[in-house]
Structure 1
Amino acid sequence: MKRRERTRQLIELGGLIAKADLIELTGDDRAVILGLLVEAAATLRGEAREQQLLLWRRRGRRAFDSDLSGDAMSKP
């Protein structure tokens, strides 16, 4: 991956962290944010991988579709 592409990818991923309100909800505690991501990665290594991906994909699409307004991220 070229440097410019990698930079864009990192900016987009940071934007998703912000859109999910994780910066505010964690008090910008990067150890907590990393812990959340490590936990998600561990879940994806488990037996429930496909089911979890389906759930997270649905929630993500719903959040995008609702324009990421207010409590769109907190609805199950």
Structure 2
Amino acid sequence: MASDDELKRALKAFKKRLKLTRLDDESGLSRGGGRKSGITGITPPPGHPSGVWEELVARGKLRRDMGGTYALVEGA
């Protein structure tokens, strides 16, 4: 079981990586101008054990997507 502080750090790292992944996708030259990214889920950032991500799923902060990716739960 992960501490609350560890869960908070992991969720913050996840949100930051998701944001950067979306920005990278939106900035592609082939996409044209101003289109939103369709990326909803990512592979969790390294540096945190897999149990942390499962705990965040259990708490309703993340949801499991296909292919070993996780997505942010809206409004959580």
TM-score (norm. length: structure 1): 0.35
TM (norm. structure 2) is 0.35
> Larger helix proportion, structure 1 or 2?
1
Higher strand share: 2
